């Protein structure tokens, strides 16, 4: 059993803390947000993620888990400190590493015996060296410590399963002691464990996210070509995906990638390459294709309705993907802003992300309303736009939807619906990467 402190109780930190507690470690969850800590200590998760409630209650009941804002005490009680704070986008695509720096300085002031400090936040290669230097300069010079990198690959929506059954574990270490401690911590995991130097581990995370984002942008590029030549993207990506060298995952065309990772990590990786004098055109193009996706959805709405102004649009899906309430960089949120800017009257709905969306979009005023059900959202709508692949959107009674709408137009940003079936009901249906006229013939 290890004594762990996890700094930052966001999506990654909380899942990390709960999973390590479930595996029998003694875990302190540390954050500076006292509201968050109060809720967590009462057993209430601060965001939606399947399975989180049970794991939280279990950890608290078994006294494997506690929460505090007292970093000094947390460090004193722990052997390994995980840094899981945010690394949001900063200027010119560079990540803003001020949260990591703040934690490094606080740790320096509280070191009393050997500690292993582990970066789990996604950071550019070279950050661990910075953390080390900051700790030394801020007073941690006399105490032994190591800084390691253990990037996290979990996906929101399946975070617990991803954490507990990862494809691989990457341990970036530069001392024997750090390697032994981390290998011991992960001893029960049944997956490849890749042990590298610290900068390599940091780079693996950025390169992984940039590669996955590239697959998505590639699929979207091919989808645009499909629309021009009358091909069907769903079949094209199946055809690609059966090739084991390519694989089918992350090849879905649609509204583009969102969330707190891919958009910022692609930009950060491009900025890092650019700063090193390396041509970053590939990464910039991946980002540009993604940014264009919202325009292409608006164009589809205009293809059907001609003018967006004063049209009533029902928008289903505000979370950046299903099974989460996270709206950071969500295509649905971006589309709402663009449609309201164009003068549309938008009614939106999401099964889990309504509260986050309400607070994010409160400045948009009268052009926007939040419906309690999808059926209320589509009432009198001129078009329905599907932006997140929530299963409940596939299961809607589309005959009822059609009766409720003013004009029966569906723009399916995730290619979730069976086009032929939907068209049989009398809808104008437009998916991604499949030319309407061609599909009919």
Report, as residue numbers or ranges, the catalytic residues.
261
User: Which of 13, 59, 140, 433 is close enough to bind ligand NAD by CB under 6 A?
Assistant: 13
> Is 153 in contact with 208 (CB distance < 8 Å)?
yes
Q: Is 85 a binder of ligand NAD (CB under 6 A)?
A: yes
Residue nearest to ligand NAD (CB): 10
Looking at 4, 12, 17, 28, which residue binds ligand NAD (CB under 6 A)? 12
Question: What is the closest distance, in whole angstroms, from the C-beta atom of residue 331 to ligand NAD in the complex?
Answer: 16
- Which residue do the tokens 């934690």 mark? 103
259: left (phi over 0), alpha (psi -120 to 50) or beta: left
Rounded CA separation 374/144 (Å): 57
SS3 302: helix
Cβ contact 273:280 at 8 Å: yes
Q: How far is the CB of 92 from ligand NAD (least distance, A)?
A: 18
CB 255 within 8 A of CB 331: yes
User: Looking at 10-18, 311-319, 345-353, 419-427, which segment touches ligand NAD (CB under 6 A)?
Assistant: 10-18
Q: Least distance in Å: CB of 36 to ligand NAD?
A: 6
Q: For ligand NAD, which residue of 66, 74, 78, 122 counts as binding (CB under 6 A)? A: 122
* Selected binder of ligand NAD within 28, 65, 84, 266 (CB under 6 A): 84
Applying CB under 6 A, does 89 fall inside the site for ligand NAD? no
**Residue 356 sits in the site that holds ligand NAD (CB under 6 A):** no
Report CA 424 to chain centroid distance, whole Å.
36
DSSP 8-class letter at 354: H
From the list 389, 384, 365, the residue with the least C-alpha distance to 425 is 384
Counting contacts by CB under 6 A, is residue 102 touching ligand NAD?
yes
Residue 304: CB atoms within 10 Å: 18
Indicate which single residue of 4, 5, 6, 7 sits in contact with ligand NAD (rule: CB under 6 A): 7
- Closest-CA residue to 57 (of 31, 91, 21, 90): 21
The rounded distance, in Å, linking the Cα atoms of 194 and 424 is 52
Closest CA to 335 of 297, 302, 303, 309: 297
Minimum CB distance to ligand NAD smaller for 81 or for 347: 81
243: Cβ contacts below 8 Å, ≥ 6 apart:
none
99 near ligand NAD, rule: CB under 6 A: yes
Q: Which is nearer to ligand NAD, 11 or 67 (CB)?
A: 11
Sheet with 312-316, side-by-side order of all strands: 368-370, 345-349, 312-316, 383-386, 409-412, 428-430
Q: How far is the CB of 427 from ligand NAD (least distance, A)?
A: 34
Q: Binder to ligand NAD among 152, 329, 389, 412 (CB under 6 A)?
A: 152
Backbone angles phi, psi at 409, to 5 degrees: -115, 130
Q: Does 105 bind ligand NAD (CB under 6 A)?
A: no
Tokens found for residue 50 = 């399947």
Examine residue 329 and tell whether it contacts ligand NAD (CB under 6 A): no
Could you tell me which of 10, 3, 2, 59 has the C-alpha nearest to residue 259? 10
Q: Would you give the binding string for ligand NAD spanning residues 233-262, x where CB under 6 A is met?
A: ---------------------------xx-
Reported as half-sphere exposure (CB side, CA atoms, 13 A), residue 308 has a value of 25
Binding ligand NAD (rule: CB under 6 A), the pick from 26, 31, 227, 412 is 31
Residue from 29, 45, 86, 351 in contact with ligand NAD (CB under 6 A)? 86
Of positions 10, 263, 331, 413, contacts ligand NAD by CB under 6 A: 10
58 makes contact with ligand NAD (CB under 6 A): no
Closer residue to ligand NAD (CB): 9 or 401: 9
Cα–Cα distance for residue pair 335/324, rounded to 1 Å: 18
CB 166 → ligand NAD: shortest distance, Å?
Answer: 11
Of 49, 146, 156, 350, the one binding ligand NAD by CB under 6 A:
156
Judging by beta carbons within 10 Å of its beta carbon (0-12, 13-18, 19+), is residue 179 exposed, middle or buried? middle
Binding stretches for ligand NAD (CB under 6 A): 7-13, 30-33, 36, 84-87, 99, 102-103, 121-122, 152, 154, 156, 260-261
């Amino acid at each position: 059993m290890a004594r762990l402190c996890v700094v930052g109780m966001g999506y990654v930190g909380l899942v990390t803390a709960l999973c390590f507690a479930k595996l029998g470690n003694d875990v302190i969850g540390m954050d500076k947000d006292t509201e968050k800590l109060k809720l967590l200590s009462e057993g209430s998760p601060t965001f939606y993620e399947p399975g989180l409630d049970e794991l939280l209650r279990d950890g608290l009941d078994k006294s494997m888990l506690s929460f505090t804002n007292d970093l000094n005490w947390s460090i004193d009680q722990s052997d390994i400190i995980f840094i899981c704070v945010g690394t949001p986008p900063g200027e010119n695509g560079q990540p803003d590493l001020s949260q990591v720096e703040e934690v490094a300085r606080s740790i320096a002031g509280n070191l009393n015996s050997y500690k292993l400090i582990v970066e789990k936040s996604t950071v550019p290669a070279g950050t661990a060296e910075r953390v080390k230097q900051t700790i030394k300069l801020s007073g941690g010079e006399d105490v032994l410590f190591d800084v390691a990198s253990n990037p996290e690959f979990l996906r929101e929506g399946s975070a617990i399963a991803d954490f507990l059954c990862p494809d691989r574990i990457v341990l970036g270490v530069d001392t024997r002691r750090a390697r032994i401690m981390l290998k011991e911590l992960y001893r029960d995991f049944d997956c490849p464990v890749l042990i590298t130097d610290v900068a390599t581990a940091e780079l693996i995370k950025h390169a992984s996210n940039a590669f996955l984002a590239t697959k998505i942008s590639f699929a979207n590029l091919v989808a645009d070509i499909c629309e021009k030549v009358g091909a069907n993207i769903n079949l094209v990506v199946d055809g690609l995906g059966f090739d084991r060298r390519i694989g089918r995952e992350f090849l879905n065309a649609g509204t583009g990638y969102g969330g707190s990772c891919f958009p910022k990590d692609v930009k950060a990786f491009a900025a890092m390459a650019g700063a090193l004098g390396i041509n970053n055109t590939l990464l910039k193009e991946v980002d540009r294709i993604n940014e264009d996706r919202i325009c292409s959805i608006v164009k589809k709405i205009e293809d059907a309705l001609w003018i967006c102004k004063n049209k009533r649009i029902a928008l289903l899906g505000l979370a950046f993907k299903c099974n989460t309430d996270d709206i950071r960089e969500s295509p649905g949120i971006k589309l709402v802003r663009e449609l309201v800017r164009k003068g549309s009257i938008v009614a939106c709905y999401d099964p889990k992300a309504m509260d986050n969306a309400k607070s994010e979009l409160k400045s948009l005023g009268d052009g926007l309303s939040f419906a309690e059900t999808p059926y209320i959202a589509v009432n009198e709508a001129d078009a329905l736009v599907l932006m997140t692949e929530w299963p409940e959107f596939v299961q809607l009674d589309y005959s009822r939807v059609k009766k409720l709408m003013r004009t029966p137009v569906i723009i399916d940003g995730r290619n979730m619906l069976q086009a032929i079936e939907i068209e049989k009901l009398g809808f104008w249906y437009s998916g991604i990467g499949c030319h309407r006229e061609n599909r009919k013939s």
